[in-house]
Amino acid sequence: MKSKWGRLILVPVMALGVGILAPGSGHAATEACPSDLASAGFADVDGLSEESTSAIDCVAHYNITTGTGFLPYSPHVAVPRWQMAIFLARSAQALGFSLPAPTPQGFTDVAGLEPAAQIAINQITEIGLASGTSRTTFSPHQTMPRWQMAIFISRLLDRAGIEMPAGHDYGFTDLSNLSAEATTAINQIAKLGVASGTSPTTFSPHQTMPRWQMAIFLANALQAAGADPYGVKLTLSANSAPANGLVVATIRITGSEGKPLAGQLVDVFVASSLKSDGTCAVDTDASVDGGDAGSSVDCEIDWADPKSDSEGKVTVLLTHELIAEKDHVYAWIGPLGQVFDADVVDDFSTASIAWSAVAGTFHLTPPQSAGFGDVITVTASLTAGGSPVWGERIHFAVDRGGAQILAQAVFTAADGTASIIYAGPGDPTAGDDPPVLDMVLAFWDRDGDGLDDGGVELDAATTVTWDD
């Protein structure tokens, strides 16, 4: 099977000290990385060859890479093993793999890595795409040599169902000191057009792999495996978050030519898991755009679902109750009235998020006294994990003598507070009157239903005593 660019020709990579056998030109409507993919917009790739920048745009399109910060891609930086793990896990997802829940694989040297790296390392190790440098070490900061990347990609393609060639000699003369698996993998991916040598007779297996070269290998692997660049692509602003946080889900809808598809209804829902028959069961602890865990009618394409904008994009906000839980976010498209069924729906994308438990606190102004007819303020203070919680609905109710005299909902400000201001009863007589007691109740209306549901919908009470 050929790479997306067709035949292989020797082309030097601009601004680099080494030439590689880079793919030539060509285009087909079913390419995994068609030439009309949008530019990823990285500001530091101008000195690279067209093949390299096209590959970088391709892996960015599949959300395999997001660069190294705002706008840079850092193409000449060597790829460390922890980063390779993330790239490999995302490539597997782009090819339709269902990755297992991350289970520790016994590595003692990954604890200081970002959560995404730890998750990816455990996942690709569990499914056999990669292995550690020993039974207890992954060596995450060790840079990737070309021979090692060849092994990982050959395993990826094999598990994607690609018929792998025999791996016989492809003409490279510098492989004699490698393992049999590495030699076979190098010859296999070369024959598939996934990778090429640094000359017609050398592969330079011990040369470290820079990020531009990794992009070419992975883009060609996507082509060899028949990845589909179109349809529904869901990404989350974070794959782990405290339960009081907000996670942004971005869905991009593309048409048959890979161009943004505007005006497309997109249904989004959050589930702990699907039902055994593939249909959805929304998570009652999650929220999409302030509602329940589904957009509009849960798990159905309807007119109230969000529509993709001119860039083919839909953005929704995800929140969760203050408990620890792993959720799966689903975004999908279909005809109006269709109900989600994973066995039937053609175009859907999913991503996982791990919510961590956060302790919430909710306090009201302490009991206070005031004169008849005075104006007082009662303030609620909401925090989670020690930080103010902004934009949450607080319901206040004031009860006097068994009758409710005030009911009001107020949203918390940036400092996590919400207040009501009200006046007390007038002075009944000119003499010494008995005090009047108000009971002030407030609760955090987390789900917006106007009811105190208890649990994580924290509540509190205070009193106001009116007297002469």
Q: Which two tokens stand for residue 299?
A: 């798990």
Same fold, 231-356 and 360-467: yes
Given a cut of 90, whether residue 108 has pLDDT beyond it is yes
pLDDT-based confidence at residue 22 (cuts at 50, 70, 90):
very low
> Residue 339 carries which DSSP code?
B
Spatial CA neighbour of 76 closest among 137, 14, 136: 14
Question: pLDDT grade, residue 13 (50/70/90)?
Answer: very low
* Assigned CATH topology for domain 360-467: Immunoglobulin-like (2.60.40)
**Residues 171-223 pLDDT 10s:** 999 999 999 999 999 999 999 999 999 999 999 999 999 999 999 999 999 99
Domain made up of 231-356: CATH architecture? Sandwich (2.60)
Q: If 0-12 CB within 10 Å is exposed, 13-18 middle and 19+ buried, where does residue 318 land?
A: buried
* Contacts for 274 with CB less than 8 Å, ≥ 6 apart: 280, 281, 328, 342
Indicate the domain borders of the chain: 8-79+143-224, 231-356, 360-467
Identify the three-state secondary structure at position 77.
coil
- Of the ranges 30-34, 86-90, 259-263, the best mean pLDDT one: 86-90
With H, G, I as helix, E, B as strand and everything else as coil, classify residue 438. Answer: strand
Higher pLDDT, 22 or 50: 50
User: And the tokens for 374?
Assistant: 């005075």
pLDDT at 113: 93
Out of 253-257, 260-264, 380-384, least confident range: 253-257
Distances (CA, A) of 399 to 287, 364, 407: 31, 15, 9
pLDDT mean across residues, the chain: 86
DSSP letters for 265-294: B-EEEEESS--TTSB----TTEEETTSSSB
| Residue listed under structure tokens 């529904």 | 232
DSSP string over 372-417? TT-EEEEEEEEEETTEE--S-EEEEEEEETTEEEEEEEEE--TTSE
- Model confidence at 388, pLDDT cuts 50, 70, 90, reads confident
Instruction: List Cβ<8 Å contacts ≥24 apart for 42-46.
Output: 42/67, 42/71, 42/72, 42/73, 43/71, 43/72, 44/71, 44/72, 44/73, 44/74, 44/75, 45/73, 45/75, 45/212
Query: Which of 157-161, 216-220, 258-262 shows the lowest mean pLDDT across its residues?
Result: 258-262
Distance CA 322, CA 444 (A): 12
The single residue listed with the structure tokens 């604890």 is 111
Percent of the chain having pLDDT more than 70? 91
Give the strand pairing for 347-356 and 240-242.
Answer: parallel
Give the lowest-confidence range in 78-87, 157-166, 197-206.
157-166
Q: What percent of the chain has pLDDT over 90?
A: 56
CA atoms within 13 A on the CB side of 285: 20
Choose among 87, 38, 91, 48: nearest CA to 223.
91
Residue corresponding to tokens 């004169």 = 371
Strand order in the sheet with 240-242: 240-242, 347-356, 325-333, 267-271
Q: Between the CA atoms of 207, 210, 216 and 217, what dihedral angle is there, to the nearest 10 degrees?
A: 50
b vs e for 360-387, b when ≥16 Cβ sit within 10 Å of the residue's Cβ? bebbbbeeeeeebeeebebbbbbbbbee
Q: Looking at residue 456, what is its pLDDT?
A: 66
pLDDT on residue 17: 28
**Which pairing describes strands 459-467 and 368-371: parallel, antiparallel, or unpaired?**
parallel
Mean pLDDT, residues 356-376: 90
Predicted confidence at residue 69, as pLDDT, reads: 59
pTM of the model: 0.51
Q: What whole-number distance in Å separates Cα of residue 6 and Cα of residue 407?
A: 70
Per-residue pLDDT band for 68 (boundaries 50, 70, 90) equals low
The answer on pLDDT for 2 being more than 80 is: no
- pLDDT average, residue stretch 10-39: 43
Two structure tokens written together for 158: 């094999």
Answer yes or no: is pLDDT of 14 > 50.
no
pLDDT bucket at 4, cuts 50 / 70 / 90: very low
Average pLDDT over residues 150-174: 92
Q: Which tens digit of pLDDT belongs to each residue from 310-340?
A: 989 999 999 887 778 899 999 998 888 999 9
Higher pLDDT, 236 or 448: 236
